[in-house]
Structure 1
Amino acid sequence: MKKVLLLLITLLSGNAFAQTTEPTYAEKLGYPKGKKILIIHVDDVGMSYESNQGAIKAIREGVANSLSVMMPCGWVPGFVHYWKENKDIDAGLHLTMTSEWKDYRWGPLAGKNQVKGLTDPEGALWRGVADVVKNASPDEVETEIRAQLERARTMGFEPTHLDSHMGTLFATPEFLERYLKVGMQEKIPVMFPGGHNTAIRGEEKMIAERFEMTQKVGKQLWAAGLPVLDDLENSSYGWKGPENGDKSEKGLQKYKTAKYIEAIGKLKPGLTMVIMHCTIHTEVFPHISDSWPTREGDFLAMIDPELRKYIEKEGIVLTTWREAMQRRQKVK
C-alpha cells in the first residue's frame, strides 16, 4: 500500500527544522496543553464485511474512535445501515481513487464517461497511485470526490471528515488542491497534518520546503473554519509482523499492541491521527488481500486491554473529528 502524503516523500532527512513555541492546534481547540490528543482511526470501512465488523468492534470493544468509508465498495450499505442506527460513531469518507486488489475491484461512482482518466481497461479504478497521476486530470479527481460525497448524502450519511485512500489525493499539488477545496467549500474537516508534524515528517523524510508547505496549508484550513491535525502517525501498515512468523491471534495481538504502544509513546503533544486497518478473521478475506495479518493484528491490538491500560496510564486524551469540529466552531 502506498503511504499517505506521497507528495512529501523526499530523499533528505528533516533534521534542520526550527522549533516553534506557537500553541498546537490542539491547544487552539481547547484541549489540555501538553497532552497527547489522539484520533485512533480505522481506514477502509465498506470495503468488505470483515472491514466493517473489524472497525465497528474496534470502536465498540476497543480504543479506536473514528473511521472512514470507501464509498465505491460493495459493503458500504452494510455499514451505512448500521451507522444510521448508531450515529454516535465518528465516520468520514475515505475518498477512493484506486482499486488495488486483483480479483475484488470497484469502479468510479461518477461513471466511466465522466472520469475516463480514472478508469482502467477493466472498467475499474486504477490499481496504483502512479497510474492515477499518469492518466487522470484534476477535474476528474474533483468530479469523483464530489460523486462519492453525493452518494453518501443520498444514503443519508453526512461524513464527519474526509481523508484519502492510498494517499492518492496527496500525490500531486493539483490533486491536493481539489481535495482541500472540497473540504473547505463543504465545511467538512480534511485529514491534513499542518502542525509540528514530528512523526510524519520523520516517516516521510520531509525536507524544510515541504514542511513549510504543510504549515501554510494548516493555516489555510484553520482560517476556513476547520480543525487541523498537529501530526499524523501512519506507520502501522508497514509493520511486518512477529519475527518468529507467528500469525496466531495471540501472536499478532502481542506484536501489534507493543508496536502501537511504542509509536504512541514517541508522539509529541498535540492532535494526532493514528491510522490503521481493522478486519475480523474469516476464510474469505485472504482471497481479497494478503494484508490480512496486519489488518487482523490492528483489530486485535485495538481490543487488547493492555493498550487501553497504557492509554489511561499515560493520561492520553481520545477525541474524534466530530468533537474537533465542534470545538473549532466555538473558536473565534
Structure 2
Amino acid sequence: MNRSTEPTIRLITRADDAGSATTADRAILETIERGLVRNVSLMAVGPSIAHAAELLAGKREVCFGIHATLNAEWSDVRWGPLSAAGASSSLVEPGGMFAPTPQAFLQRQPAVDAVMTELQAQLDRLRGLGFAIGYADTHMVFEWAMPYIEEPFDRWCEREGIRNYKLYSQPLPQAAGADDKARQADPVAAFIARLENAQPGQYLVVGHPGYDDAEMHRMGSEDYPSERVVADRINERLLFTHPDVLACCERLGILPIRYDEAQLPGA
C-alpha cells in the first residue's frame, strides 16, 4: 500500500461464512494472507467452525465478527441452533434445522427471548473457540422479516461491547453505466471500475470466498444451483486477491480497514 498519500477511500473488506465449510475457511485464509480482507464473519453453527478457529483465530490483523445465523439456505448442508431455547422454538423446522430463508419468519414469528438466547449462545461459542469478537452482522439479513428484533439486537451489541454492522453499511457504489451482463462477464474488471469511480469516503465490500471443489459443490438449492454458487464464490475470492485489484488499490491509495478502525457516518 502506498502510504505517501492520505487514503481517500477506506474499504471495510469483509469475508462472510467462515465456519460453513472447510473450503470456505481456506479461501478466506487466502483473502487475508494474499488479499484485502480485514474482517471475517463467523458462523458459530457451521459444521467447520472448529476448523475455522484452528486456521484463523490467531490472525491478529483481522477483526472477527459473529455472523448471527438463524437460517440454513442449502438443500444438502444444513445447520440448526446451539441453544435449547432455539431448538424448541419457531426458529426451527420439524427436523430441528433452521428454515432456508427469513421468509419463514413472516409466517411464524420467533419470540424475542428465543432469538436473543440463540444469538448469545452463538457468541459464547465463538469466544470459547478463541475468537476475539469485534462486531456483529446477520446471515441473510434475517431482521428484515422480524423488524421487532432490531432494537434488542442493537442493545445486545452495546451490552457485549461489539460494533453493530448496521452503522457501517455504506456500500461501494456501482460504476456509472455498468450493467449486470458486464459485471457477470468480468467481475474483476467491474470491481476495479467501481473502485476507480468511487468518491472519497468509507465503503463496505462483502464477499463469500470459495474454491471449485467437491465440498463447495454441496452448497446449493433449487433456487440457487451449486454451479452458480461455486462460480460466484470463486469470483468473490478474486475480488479480494486478484493482482489487478491489488494493483488498483495500490495505485489509488485505497486502504482496507477493520470494523474497529471504521468511522461512524458523519464523524
| TM-score after normalising by structure 2 | 0.83
Contact kept in structure 2, 1:240 and 1:294, CA below 8 Å:
no
Instruction: Supply the AA of the counterpart residue of 1:277.
Output: H
Counterparts of 1:62-81 in structure 2, within 5 Å, are 62-81=35-54
Q: Which residue of 2 aligns with 1:229?
A: 168
Q: What secondary structure does 2:137 align onto? A: strand
Q: Offset at 1:174?
A: 1.0
SS at match of 1:274: strand
Q: How many residue pairs were aligned?
A: 248
Does the 8 Å contact 2:11/2:255 carry over to 1? yes
1:106 aligns with 2:79: yes
How far apart, CA to CA, are the structure 1 residues paired with 2:183 and 2:10? 28
Aligned-residue offset at 1:92: 0.9
> Structure 1 residues 45 and 67 mapped into 2: Cα distance closer, same or farther (>3 Å)?
same
Deviation at 1:102, TM superposition (A): 0.6
Aligned to 2:131: 157
Q: How far did residue 152 of structure 1 move?
A: 1.2
Q: Which residue among 253, 259, 267 is the counterpart of 1:315? A: 253
1:171 aligns with 2:148: no
| Equivalent runs, 1:38-117 vs 2, <5 Å | 38-111=11-84, 115-117=88-90
Alignment partners' CA distance in 2, 1:279 and 1:151: 24
Cα distance, 1:35 vs structure 2: 2.0
Q: CA deviation at 1:170?
A: 3.7
TM-fit CA distance, 1:256: 2.0
Taking the aligned partners of 1:100 and 1:109, their CA distance within structure 2 comes to: 17
Match of 1:297 among 235, 239, 242: 235
What is the rounded CA distance, in whole Å, between the counterparts of 2:197 and 2:93 in structure 1? 41
For the residue of structure 2 that corresponds to 1:288, the secondary structure is coil
Of 176, 201, 218, the residue aligned with 1:270 is: 201
1:93/1:162 contact within 8 Å kept: yes
Structure 2 matches for 1:19-30, cutoff 5 A?
none
In 2, Cα distance between the equivalents of 1:144 and 1:169?
A: 14
Deviation of 1:98 (Å) = 0.1
In structure 2, the CA distance between the partners of 1:263 and 1:178, relative to structure 1 (3 Å rule), is: farther
Q: Choose which of 208, 217, 231 in structure 2 pairs with 1:286.
A: 217
1:146 to 120, 125, 130: 120
Spell out, residue by residue over 1:120-146, the C-alpha distance to the aligned partner (whole angstroms, 9 max, x if none): 112101111110343222222212111
**Length-normalised TM-score, structure 1:** 0.68
Q: Which amino acid aligns with 1:288?
A: M
Aligned Cα RMSD in Å?
A: 2.6
Structure 1 residue identity aligned to 2:126: A
- Separation of aligned partners in 1, 2:97 and 2:169: 35
For residues 100-120 of structure 1, give each alpha carbon's deviation from its aligned partner in whole angstroms, at most 9, with x where no partner exists. 111110111113665511011
